Structures are given as structure tokens and as C-alpha cells.
């Protein structure tokens, strides 16, 4: 049983490859290393004590992708490759539509050509936009509010159409909430080119002393401490969700969405405090204006994933912060 992981060297991809290898799955990875490092896959192989062919390939390169499929008999694809910055997607929508949507179309055409119809797709809670009710169930309306979110929503729709056209296809649309943390080994984690935008990597860099203070975006939200609440999910739990989703698509047909979150929310201040506890460092912060486009609360209803994928997040925020901190202290410059 062999699985192709696109974006296998990325933050999520490296953790997914590690958990697949640990579960005894044969993995083939592709990555264009645009936002990732070949060092990540070397470490994954060392941690798992297993081999994994990795191709330096861009999904837009049809011939190169076809060569990967021709070299390896594949049973399924876990599709994680894509650009993921909301802000950049607003500034450069065409780059996002071309890379995320066109690249994915090339992948789907190649899958069809080689008779591979099982897919786990990396979607995002971003597809819900500002959801009307919390926690968010998968049936909530899809109304993304930025180009990045629209690329995810479009790919979900394309996959549903593909499953309708060919009933042998099977797809799990995994809608991630806020992935954070690192593998407990401290050997793989989130590597940034430049300053991090997401909360946990930003806090980590402040704790390490490379940034001065955390800007807390908004302190008058209708939440107990006034700061925004999110559903942070440990990257290893998220990765294990992919292993379970893979098992599910291999035994089913049709397309279905699953929220990957914990169902439990924490505020920005709670995350800062948790990080202070695990790192033993004081984390300076500054209360600033809200970030445009942010919502007060975003929480998953993960019951579908629990029921149908037999998956549930088990790690809490202290473990998440401790693992992020171990990765940071072991690798002050990431993979560089
Ligand atoms: C962001 C993306 C989302 C993506 C997710 C995971 C936006 C609008 N959304 O979600 O599409 O799927 O990351 O990669 O960018 N915060 C601060 N200070 C900071 C950074 C964040 O106070 O320096 C706050 C935010 O206001 C929010 C929380 O921390 O309340 C989490 O922010 P962040 O980590 O950026 O994730 P999201 O905005 O939830």
C-alpha cells in the first residue's frame, strides 16, 4: 500500500509523513520546497527509521508529476501542497489560484490517468468564513472571505464533482482548525522564512528573544478576557487524523468533510500564559487593534471525525506549547 503525499516537506506534511511511516504505510512524497526544506524529510526518515522516496517536483509540472505516478504504484493521495497565507492571497490572488487550484487540477488529471481515486485533502476551517454559530458543524454554509479560503472551497467542490462523476472515487475533506506545536522529538516543526504570522510560532519567537513582544490583536472581543478564542490542535493529533482519514477513504466511496479540531477553545492570553509556564520565560505582549478579518471565536464540532474516522485529538495546549518550545530551542534557526 503506497500513498503519495504532496507538500510532504512542509509543516503539516512532515508530521503526516512521519505518522504514516510509523503506521507502516509506504510513503512517496513530492514538494517544490517553496516554503519548506529538504532537511525536514531527512529528519522524518531518521525519526521513523524508514526510507521514503521524495521528489523535488511542482504540481504544475505535468510531466514530472506523471513520472512520479509511473514510478510508483499508488493507492491514494494525501494532498497538502499549497500556499497558505491569507494576507499574501489578498495581495496576489492569481498566484494563489494558479498554484493552489491549477496545480490541484493537474494532480487530479494525473490521478485519473493512473486510476488513483482515493484522496485525503487538506482543507481549512477558513472555508466557513464568519460562521453564524459555534461550534462549527460541517453542514455550516461555506462562505470564505479571502482568496486563500476560496481556493480551498473551490477544490472541495471540484472533488465533490469528481466523486459524483466517478462513484469509485473516495475523498475526505479535512478542515483544519489551528494546527500548532511540533513532534515530541523536537526534531521537526514549523519552519519560517521571515516573521511568523500565526500566534503560536510568533509567541515562540518572542520567548526565544528573536522578537520583542506579542501583539495581541483585539482585547474587547465578547470573550471572557476580551481576546480572540481559537481551537488549537496539536500537529501530531492533526497528522494522526490523516492516517485515520486514509484508512477511511480506502474502505469507502463518495466525498465527505471532517473538522479536525478539539472542540475546546483558548484565548490569545491563555496561550501566552501556557507558553510562559512551559518555557519558564516571561512573554512580553502589547494590546493592539483587532486584525481585519478576524472573528471573536472559532471552534470545531469534531463529532463527525470521532464517529466516522474513529479519531479524536488527545493532546492539550500545554503539550502543544512544550513541543513548540522544544523544537525552537533545539533548532533556533529552524532547518537552516
Ligand atoms: C489563520 C488564518 C487561517 C489559517 C490559520 C492556520 C487569517 C485571518 N486566518 O487563522 O486562514 O487556516 O491561520 O494557519 O490569517 N493573534 C494575535 N497576535 C498575533 C497573531 C495572532 O493576537 O501575532 C491572534 C489572532 O487575532 C487570533 C489568534 O491569535 O485570535 C490566532 O491567530 P492565527 O494563529 O493567525 O490563526 P487564525 O487567524 O485563527
Mean pLDDT of the chain: 97
Q: Is 148 a catalytic residue?
A: yes
Is residue 267 in some structural domain?
A: no
Element (H, E) at 216: strand 214-217
Share of the chain above pLDDT 70, in %: 100
Q: What is the per-residue pLDDT for 58?
A: 98
Residue 196, pLDDT > 90, answer no
Is residue 271 in some structural domain?
A: no
CA distance 14 to 188: 7
**pLDDT digit string (tens) for 86-142?**
999 999 999 999 999 999 999 999 999 999 999 999 999 999 999 889 999 999 999
Which pLDDT band holds residue 293 (cuts at 50, 70, 90)? confident
**What's the rounded mean pLDDT across residues 160-184?**
98
Write down the pTM of the prediction: 0.98
Q: What is the per-residue pLDDT for 193?
A: 79
**pLDDT digit string (tens) for 134-163?**
999 999 999 999 999 999 999 999 999 999
Cα-trace Rg, the chain? 19
What's the number of domains the chain is made of? Answer: 1
The domain that contains 142 carries what CATH number?
A: 3.40.50.720
Is residue 154 in some structural domain?
A: yes
Q: Give, in order, the Cα–Cα distances in Å from 233 to each of 40, 58, 245.
A: 21, 28, 16
Nearest to 81 by CA among 63, 54, 44, 107: 107
Question: What ligand 1 atom has the least distance to the C-alpha of 148?
Answer: 11
Residue whose CA lies nearest to ligand 1 atom number 7: 86
Residue whose CA lies nearest to ligand 1 atom number 1: 198
Q: Which domain holds residue 167?
A: 2-186+233-261
Amino acid at each position: 500500500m503506497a500513498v503519495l503525499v504532496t507538500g510532504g516537506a512542509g509543516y503539516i506534511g512532515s508530521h503526516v509523513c512521519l505518522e504514516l511511516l510509523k503506521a507502516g504505510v509506504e510513503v512517496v512524497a513530492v514538494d517544490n520546497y517553496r516554503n519548506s526544506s529538504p532537511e525536514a524529510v531527512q529528519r522524518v526518515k531518521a525519526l521513523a527509521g524508514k526510507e521514503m522516496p521524495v521528489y523535488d517536483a511542482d504540481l504544475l509540472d505535468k510531466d514530472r508529476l506523471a513520472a512520479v505516478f509511473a514510478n510508483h504504484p499508488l493507492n491514494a493521495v494525501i494532498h497538502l501542497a499549497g500556499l497558505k497565507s491569507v494576507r499574501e492571497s489578498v495581495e496576489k490572488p492569481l498566484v494563489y489560484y494558479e498554484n493552489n487550484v491549477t496545480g490541484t487540477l493537474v494532480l487530479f488529471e494525473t490521478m485519473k490517468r493512473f486510476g488513483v481515486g482515493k484522496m485525503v485533502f487538506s482543507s481549512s476551517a477558513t472555508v466557513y468564513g464568519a460562521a453564524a454559530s459555534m461550534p462549527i458543524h460541517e453542514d455550516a454554509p461555506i462562505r470564505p472571505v479571502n482568496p486563500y479560503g476560496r481556493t480551498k472551497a473551490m477544490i472541495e467542490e471540484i472533488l465533490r464533482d469528481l466523486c459524483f462523476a466517478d462513484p469509485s472515487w473516495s475523498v475526505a475533506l479535512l478542515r483544519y482548525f489551528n494546527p500548532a506545536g511540533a513532534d515530541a522529538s523536537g526534531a521537526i516543526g514549523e519552519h519560517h522564512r521571515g516573521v511568523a504570522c500565526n500566534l503560536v510560532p510568533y509567541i515562540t519567537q518572542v520567548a526565544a528573544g528573536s522578537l520583542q513582544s506579542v501583539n495581541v490583536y483585539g482585547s474587547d472581543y465578547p470573550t471572557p478576557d476580551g481576546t480572540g478564542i481559537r481551537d488549537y490542535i496539536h500537529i501530531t493529533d492533526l497528522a494522526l487524523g490523516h492516517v485515520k482519514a486514509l484508512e477511511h477513504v480506502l474502505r469507502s466511496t463518495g466525498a465527505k468533510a471532517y473538522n479536525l479540531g478539539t472542540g475546546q477553545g483558548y484565548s490569545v492570553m491563555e496561550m501566552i500564559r501556557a507558553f510562559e509556564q512551559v518555557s519558564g520565560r516571561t512573554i512580553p505582549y502589547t494590546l493592539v487593534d483587532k486584525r481585519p478579518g478576524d472573528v471573536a471565536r472559532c471552534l470545531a464540532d469534531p463529532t463527525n471525525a470521532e464517529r466516522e474516522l474513529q479519531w479524536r485529538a488527545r493532546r492539550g495546549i500545554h503539550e502543544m506549547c512544550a513541543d513548540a518550545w522544544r523544537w525552537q530551542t533545539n533548532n533556533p534557526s529552524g532547518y537552516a
